[in-house]
Amino acid sequence: MIFIILIHLILIGSLQSVQGFCPGGCSCNDSIHVVHCSDAGLDIIPGTLIDAAFQFYVQLIVSDFSHNELDSLADRCFASSPQLKELKLDNNRLEHLNNLTFSGLKSLETLSIRKNLIQNLTVSIFESLSQLNTLDLGENPIHFIDGSAFESLTQLRDLRLDHNALTIIPPFPMALSKNLIKMKLSYNKDLRSRLENIPFSAFHGLSSLKTLDISSNKIKVIPRFSHSLANLRELFIGGSNLYSDIPSFGFQGLNGLRLLDITQSENLRVIRTRAIYGNPSLKTLDLSEAQIPEMRFEDEAFFINRNSSIEKLQLIFRSMGLRSINEGSVANWTTKVESIDLKDNPLKCDCRLNWLVNFISKTYTTSHAICSNGKPLNLKKQSYMSGCA
C-alpha cells in the first residue's frame, strides 16, 4: 500500500513538474509529448520550451505555435527537441528563415508555416529536415525560391505553395522525384501579376507526382506537360485566364490522368479536335462554371472514337450557363460516357434537346438537370416536348 502511494505521489510530482515549466497560455501533455501554444499571445518561443535540461522537451513529438505574434526564430531554437515530428507555425508574422532555423530536427515529418510574411526561400533552407514529408508554405508573399531550397527534402510527399506571389514555377531538384506525390501551386498572385507561363521543363523529373494543382492562376495557355508526369492522376487547372480554347492533344503525355478539372474557366469557348487524345485512363472531366451557353466541340472526335481506350467517362458540366448541346458534338459518346452531370444549367428544353432526353434516359445518368422554365428535364419521357416528332 505504501509502495502504491509513493508511485502515485511520484506521478503527481512529475505532472506538476511538467506543468510548472509549461509557459502561460500553453498546454503540455507529458503522456503523449505534445505542447499546444496556439493563440497564446507569444512574440518569442518561450525559453522553457527550448531548454534541453528538461527531459520533457527533449521527448516532444508535437509543438503548435500557430496564431501568435512570432516575427523571428533564433538559430537552432528547436534543437533541444530532436524527436519532434510535427511543428506548426501558422498565422504568425515570420519574415525570415535560414538554414539554421530548423537545425537538429532530423525526425520532423510535418512542417506548417502557413500564413506568415515570408518572401524568399534561400539556399539550403531546409537542409536539416531529411525526414520531412509534408511542407505547407501557403498564404505567404513568397516570390523567390532558390534552386537548392528543397534539395535535402528527399522524403517529401506533399508540397503546398498556394496563395503565394510566384510569377514563375520554381526549379524543383531531382531529389524530389522519388517521393513527391502532391503539389499545390494554386492562387499565386499579387497586386501586380500572377503566374502566367509554365515552361515545358517546369515539372520535369517529378515522376512520382500524382496530384498537381495549378488552378486559379493567370495562365495564358494550357502548358505542355513533360512525359515524366506519366503517373499523374489528378490535374487541377481551372480558374485560369485561359485562351478561349483547349488545344488538340492539350494534355498529351499524361497517360495515367484520371481526373481533369478545368472548372471556373470563364473565357473557355471551344474544345478542339482530339483535346483529350493521349489520356486513355481519364475517368472524370469537370468543366463546371465555364460559361459556355452552347456546348460546342470542334467535331465529334473530342470524346474520341469508339475504338478509343477511354472507358466509363464521367462528365461534369454544372453551372455552365448551358442552354443547348449540339447533337453532333456527342456522336461518339455511346460507349464511352458513364454519366453526365448537367445540374444548374438553364437548358432550353425544346425539340432540339429531345435527342439528349432519349440519349441519357436509355444509357446514362444526370444530376437534377433543370430547364430554363424551372421544370426538371424529365428523362422518363422520350418525346415529352410539345411539337416534337
Structural contact between residues 331 and 300, judged by C-beta atoms closer than 8 angstroms: yes
Residue 5 dihedral angles phi and psi, to the nearest 5°: -65, -40
pLDDT of residue 294: 62
pLDDT of residue 61: 96
Structural contact between residues 343 and 318, judged by C-beta atoms closer than 8 angstroms: yes
Q: How many CB atoms lie within 10 A of CB 7?
A: 10
Pairing of strands 211-213, 182-184: parallel
pLDDT of residue 96: 95
pLDDT of residue 181: 98
- Can you read off the three cell numbers belonging to residue 31? 503522456
Predicted model pTM:
0.87
pLDDT of residue 263: 92
| Bridge partners of residue 28, in order along the sequence | 35
- Calpha distance 240→224 (Å, rounded): 15
- Ramachandran assignment for 41, one of left (phi > 0), alpha (psi -120 to 50 degrees), beta (any other): left
pLDDT of residue 154: 95
In whole angstroms, how large is the CA radius of gyration of the chain?
27
- Can you read off the three cell numbers belonging to residue 368? 437534377
pLDDT tens digits, 273-287: 778 888 889 999 999
Residue written as grid cell 525526414: 131
DSSP run (H or E) holding 57: helix 55-58
Mean pLDDT by 10 residues, the chain (389 residues): 42 45 88 94 85 70 97 93 96 96 96 98 94 98 92 96 90 87 89 61 89 89 82 92 78 93 85 81 91 60 57 86 71 69 85 76 68 72 54
CA 65 to chain CA centroid, nearest Å: 24
